[in-house]
Amino acid sequence: MKLKVLLPAEVLLTQEVTKVVAEAENGLFCLMPQHVDFTAALVPGVFSYTTGDGAEHYLAIDMGTLVKKGSEILVSTRNAFQSAELGHLKEVIIRQFEEIDEREKKARAAAARLELDMLRRFMELRHE
């Protein structure tokens, strides 16, 4: 199978694989070449794949989508990080994804303040 991991600005990985293990909202699943076509919404966590030489590789991924069609598996996610050590990925997931979530919270709060300010100004115009 051909695995391709897509980020918003780049292709992180293109690799021939024999097995993929990922996690969706309803739990872990494994894909192998003989499996039927499949689509899943991925949750943040560890994504693993096995290459033809039997070596297992790991990625920390954010939320995303996986699509298996024929012998091709496409994974689209906002963020992904590679590491040879599984233990290191846990730290990456916690640190990196929490930082991203915090930035998103700040951006949402700023957008809410802008909306409230705009509504306040419309109300002031209405009373004039």
Q: Which residue stretches of the chain have pLDDT < 50?
A: none
Task: Give bridge partners of residue 66 from the DSSP assignment.
Answer: 40, 75
- Boundaries of domain holding 43: 2-127
Q: Rounded CA gap, 15 and 4, in Å?
A: 7
Total of domains in the chain: 1
Q: In this structure, what token pair is assigned to residue 56? A: 């297992």
Report the 10 Å Cβ neighbour count for 68: 21
* Average pLDDT score, the chain: 86
pTM over 0.85: no
What are the tens digits of pLDDT across the range 114-126? 888 887 777 787 7
Closest to 6 (Cα-Cα) out of 85, 62, 46: 62
Q: Residue 70: give its domain's CATH number.
A: 2.60.15.10
Q: Which residues contact 100 (CB under 8 A, 6 or more apart)?
A: 62, 78, 79
- What is the per-residue DSSP string for 59-100? EEE-SEEEEEETTEEEEEES-EEEES-HHHHHHHHHHHHHHH
- Contact, 57 vs 86, CB < 8 A? no
Residue 128 pLDDT = 66
